Amino acid sequence: MRFTSPSPTRSSTRLAVALALAAGCGASHAAAPEKVTLGVAIPTATHGFTGGIVWWANQAKKELEAANPTLKVIVKTAASTPEQANQVQDLLVVNKMNALVILPLESASLTQPVSQVKNKGVYVTVVDRGLTNPAAQNAYVAGDNAAFGRLPAEYLAKRLNGKGNIVILRGMPSTIDNERVNAFQAEIKKHPGIKVLDAKYGNWNRDDAFKVTQDYLTRFKAIDAVWAADDDMAIGVLKAIEQAKRTDVKEVFGGAGAKFAVKKVLDGDKLVQADVSYSPKFIYDAIKMTATARLKGEALPARTIIPSVLITRDNARQFYFPESPY
Amino acid sequence: MQPTPTTPSTEPASKPGPKPAAIPGLAHLKAAGPLIALILLCIAGAFLNPDFATVDNLMNVLTRTAFIGIIAVGMTFVIVSGGIDLSVGSMAALIAGAMIVAMNALVAGANPPGPVGIVAAGIALALVFGAAFGTAHGLLITRGRIEPFIVTLGTLGIFRAMLTWLSDGGALTLDFNLAETYSPVYYQNLLGVPVPVWVFALVAIAGTVILNRTAYGQHVQAIGSSEQVARYAAIRVDRAKVLTYLLLGVCVAIATILYVPRLGSATPTTGILWELEAIAAVVVGGTSLRGGAGRIMGTVVGAILLSVIGNILNLTSIISVHLNPAVQGVVIIVVAYLQRGRR
């Protein structure tokens, strides 16, 4: 607080110094490597797969922060869409993130909140469940959802010799669920002898899958195969079938290569003889790719797809990782 | 006005004037309890994490509080009149779903009006639904003479089931262009303050004026104090009660109108547990669940207080964020304990 008015020469010198400093800062900012604060917004471990996601995300954080001192990674998990929307906002306002890796809980609900932070200059990588407006994301990393739906359809058609009744359990309403189911249905259409009786949402959740399967078993007296579309849901399906003491179901096909399901395939289980890979490790890959690119000020390719493979008794050994959480 | 109450305590808001407190100003101090707690909490928050005290963060907290806050203002009227409404979360979900379905239908229809017109139609529809549901509650409770708890417990199930049926178990998503037109309602700032905060302020002021400065507000408090006596005082009890539920329905509609542009979608889990959060805000603000006296500004402070607690816990690492609801639960119990002597 000055009580004497500064002389004109002093104030103009101050102004010149301030301007020079600002220019200098601007210049040096452009040349120096970017200091990256990477926000990671993922679902809480509601089921085995998301448990794997959380574990891999924290692995990525540990390894990347140790290797890069100018990188800060903040991992937030959310149980509901408003919570995740809040976290995305806080990561920008409070933590001042300049890059975001997000696995949206629901594609439609998170599109607006993510679009808002992208418009404020945050680089956005979306993993797995894509947003309904691709303009709201800079890069997309996912497993091969089309193969995830196609491979079980091919396998089941062969297993049932082209004839039979199948029921489908869908996941949570999201773009990837739509991709998978559409790919499955497209493949099944090539086998006119196979009839899809129904496709209801199981939300990738054992309890919901159990309830939905119970309803199916009550409504349909003859079911040849169940596409459970997820290994966690497959557990719910198997329990429901066991409880109803039904013998008509020949195969339950899950998905994502959870270690207990791969073990069943390895051991030659009666109902679970095949699976398809879709590892939660892709969050680790997405975080690593985003951090590496942003530290250099670069962008990622718009779409990166990690392939899915059919797992049968012959190659199950390669997909069995007992120490991993999923 | 009302005959002298036989119960020992007196609430300042039941008569528009100074209260007969033993120590002058003590009742004022008790009423200011939640506000003092909020101020202390904010100071503590600023110490624990300087990012808490930024304008951006505070605006975010206020914006998120707006939904529960607006509903809680309406809930204050219902609770003061001696009733309760457990269905507000499900009502919000159903109104959101109905709005989205209607707006999507309009945009896909034969001669679609412009996006602003469709959004306006959606908003009008929401208000109509809110008023209709509220009136239905009121009539079932007064004419049907069924307990408010039971009526709203039933409609809680009915509303959510109808939404789940509408959405076929999945999500109802607003057409993308409409979502772009509508999103400023939640995300835009007017003079640096987000729109939902303005609406929250207006609703709170309107609520305070209605409760404390109109004859209707006096009637509502009288009914909550003693319904029989109010009847003898020629207050039209049934009409007043129906109006409280209608007001709450409109508040729920307003909250939903602000909520839909945020995520642009309604799912079976939208609005879950909002009723309990609204009731908690009312209780923490100083209104007794038994009714008879209530303070809208207390409710507003209560809503903000619970939100601020969550925000501070998120920004600091004192305890795991999973324990946030536990801390809020403890706060509710402590506040109720401190207020137990008030009636």
**What class does CATH assign to A36-144+280-308?**
alpha beta
In chain B, how many domains are there? 1
Would you call A106 and B265 a contact, using CB atoms and an 8 Å cutoff? yes
**Residue A66's pLDDT is what?**
93
| B183 in contact with chain A, both atoms CB, cutoff 8 A | yes
Q: Chain A partners of B56 at a C-beta cutoff of 8 Å?
A: 93
Q: Alpha-carbon distance A57 to A68, whole Å?
A: 16
Substitution target from A90, A114, A172 for chain B, most B beta carbons within 10 A = A90
Give domain status of residue B48, yes or no.
yes
Nearest to B269 among A80, A111, A132 (CB): A80
pLDDT of residue B12: 45
pLDDT digits (tens, 9 = 90+) for A20-58: 444 444 444 444 456 899 999 999 987 778 888 999 999
Per-residue pLDDT reduced to its tens digit, B69-109: 999 999 999 999 999 999 999 999 999 999 999 999 998 88
Task: Specify if B243 maps to a domain.
Answer: yes
Q: Do A173 and B267 touch (CB under 8 A)?
A: yes
pLDDT at residue A29, rounded to an integer = 42
Q: Which one, of B206, B161, B165, lies nearest residue B300 by Cα?
A: B206
SS3 content of chain B, % helix, strand, coil (to 5): 75, 0, 25
Instruction: Looking at B184-295, list the stretches that DSSP marks H as alpha helix, in order from N- to C-terminal side.
Output: 184-187, 195-213, 215-225, 227-232, 237-263, 274-284
Mutate to test the interface with A, among B100, B263, B269, B313 (most CBs of A within 10 A): B263
Eight-state DSSP code of residue B51: G
What's domain A145-276's superfamily in CATH?
Answer: Response regulator (3.40.50.2300)
Q: Do the chains contact at B263 and A110, CB–CB below 8 Å?
A: yes
C-alpha dihedral, B14 to B17 to B21 to B26, nearest 10°: 100
| Cα nearest neighbour of A104 on chain B | B263
Shortest alpha-carbon distance between residue A203 and chain B (Å):
9
CB A153 within 8 A of CB A308: no
Q: Do A94 and B265 touch (CB under 8 A)?
A: no
What integer is the mean pLDDT of A286-292?
93
In a domain, B100, yes or no: yes
- Which chain B residues are closer than 8 Å to A81 by Cβ? 263, 265, 267
> Under an 8 A CB cutoff, do B315 and A94 touch?
yes
pLDDT at position A307 is 87
**Domain containing B111: what range?**
31-342
Q: Which residue of B has its CA nearest to A175?
A: B171
Considering only CB atoms, which residues of chain A are within 8 Å of chain B? 80-82, 85-86, 89-90, 93-95, 106, 108-113, 116, 132-133, 173, 200-201
Mean pLDDT of A248-263: 89
- Structure pTM? 0.77
Q: Classify residue B21: in a domain, yes or no.
A: no
Best of A46, A81, A91, A112 to mutate (most B CBs within 10 Å, chain B) = A112
From A93, A95, A200, residue closest to B60, measured CB to CB: A93
Of A89, A108, A109, the CB nearest to B60: A89
- Name the β-bridge partners of A320: none
**B251 belongs to a structural domain:** yes
The predicted pLDDT at position B24 comes to 62
Nearest Cα of chain A lies from the Cα of B265 at a distance, in angstroms, of: 6
CA B20, B26, B28: angle at the middle one, nearest 5? Answer: 85
pLDDT reported for residue B11: 46
Residue B5 lies in a domain: no
What mean pLDDT comes out for the span A248-275? 89
CA distance A106 to B270: 12
Domain ranges for chain A = 36-144+280-308, 145-276
A to B CB pairs, distance under 8 Å: 63
What chain A residue is nearest to B63 in terms of C-alpha separation? A86
The predicted structure's pLDDT at residue B341: 63
Q: Calculate how close chain B gets to A133, using CA atoms only, in Å.
A: 8
Chain B nearest CA to A92, separation (Å): 10
- Whole-number pLDDT of residue A189: 93
Phi, psi of A307 (to 5 degrees): -65, 150
For position B150, which CATH number holds? 1.10.3470
Indicate whether A18 pLDDT > 70. no
**Structure token pair of residue B49:** 């994490």
Closest residue, chain B, to A200 (C-alpha): B169
From first to last of its 343 residues, chain B has per-residue pLDDT tens of 555 545 544 444 444 555 444 566 666 666 677 888 889 889 988 888 888 888 888 898 999 999 999 999 999 999 999 999 999 999 999 999 999 999 999 988 888 888 899 999 999 999 999 999 999 999 999 999 999 999 999 999 999 999 999 988 778 888 888 888 898 999 888 898 999 999 999 999 999 999 999 999 999 999 999 999 999 998 999 999 999 999 999 999 999 999 999 988 888 888 988 999 999 999 999 888 888 888 899 999 999 999 998 888 888 777 887 888 898 899 888 887 877 765 4
User: Which of A26-35, A243-252, A267-276, B94-103 is the least confident region?
Assistant: A26-35
In single-letter form, the type of residue at position B238 comes to D
pLDDT in tens, B218-277: 999 999 999 999 999 989 999 999 999 999 999 999 999 999 999 888 888 889 889 999
